Amino acid sequence: TQLLEQSPQFLSIQEGENLTVYCNSSSVFSSLQWYRQEPGEGPVLLVTVVTGGEVKKLKRLTFQFGDARKDSSLHITAAQPGDTGLYLCAAEVGGTSYGKLTFGQGTILTVHP
């Protein structure tokens, strides 16, 4: 059983479409991060959300942290081929688990021109 469940696992869309990726858990997190990983490279941090209900925008990307701090979503508006990649959510469980990130399985996004 995954601590962080991401859905969907695969997403194939046309340029210009909107999409949402979900990251769900039954655990409460002190913070949650979203990363993007391209083939042959390491994950690159997109955003960290800390407060329940928080919404952060990064150009066409909107990140939301659930009120109960158990789930998060990533919404991309007008997707572009350059958005193609593996999107990962990650979190520390909390307490004394500093530095120990748990990752979701990831969502592989393909945006076709």
Closer to another protein at the Cβ: 11 or 91? 91
Residue 18 CB, shortest distance to another protein, in Å, is 26
Handedness of CA 65, 66, 69, 72 (dihedral sign): negative
Comparing CA positions, the residue from 98, 103, 100 lying closest to residue 37 is: 103
Where in 34-73 is the site for another protein (CB under 8 A)?
35, 40-45, 48, 50
3-state helix, strand, coil in the chain (%, to 5): 5, 50, 50
Using the contact rule CB under 8 A, the part of the chain among 16-24, 32-40, 55-63, 69-77 near another protein is 32-40
Question: Does the footprint of another protein cover residue 102 (CB under 8 A)?
Answer: yes
Out of 82, 95, 99, 113, point to the residue binding another protein (CB under 8 A).
99
The SS3 assignment for 100 reads: coil
Cβ atoms within 10 A of the Cβ of 85, count? 20
Q: Which of 25, 33, 72, 107 binds another protein (CB under 8 A)?
A: 33
With respect to another protein, which residue has the nearer C-beta, 66 or 104? 104
Q: Residue 75 burial (CB < 10 Å; 0-12/13-18/19+)?
A: middle
Q: Please report, as ranges, the residues that interact with another protein according to CB under 8 A.
A: 30-31, 33, 35, 40-45, 48, 50, 88, 90-92, 97-106
